[in-house]
Amino acid sequence: MANAQRAADGEAPEEEKPVPDVPPPDFINACKAVMLNFGNLNLEKADGETDLSELIKEIANEAEIVATKIYGKGMTVKEQQDRAWSESTTSIFDLERLELEAASRGEQAPWASDSDDDDLIPGFDASGRMQIGGN
């Protein structure tokens, strides 16, 4: 909505945030794997000898700083809940509460309906059994 208002005022819409070439969880896992497999290797640097693990830690620290500059500081669960409250959005905890309330009344939440066949994997029936052959 804010971008629409800016466009109506003649301003350009905000640019989308850049997406990293390597997703952060994959980068972290790659750093861990290299440290696990090769972390004890000694490397010669101009200022002396160092372990490969020390270089990986330096790279990871720098990547964390860059990610924080681009995406901002991460939020705790409480901070996310507070943000959802202040922005009047619905959290998964709210959805769970609504689902439990519906179940206590003997009803089903609309998103919990099992009657929807769109979720079935081809070749399986509603009970989860694989269908082989004809009928």
- Tens of each residue's pLDDT in the chain, 135 residues: 555 566 556 555 555 656 678 777 788 888 888 888 887 788 777 677 778 888 888 888 888 888 788 777 777 778 877 887 788 777 788 888 888 888 888 888 777 766 555 566 777 777 778 778 765
CB atoms within 10 A of CB 59: 13
Burial class (CB in 10 A: 0-12, 13-18, 19+), 60: middle
Nearest to 96 by CA among 114, 118, 111: 111
HSE of 10 in the Cβ direction (CA atoms, 13 Å)? Answer: 0
The three-state secondary structure class of 64 is: helix
Nearest to 111 by CA among 128, 123, 94, 127: 94
- pTM over 0.75? The answer is no
Which residues make Cβ contacts (< 8 Å) with residue 81, sequence separation at least 6?
91, 93
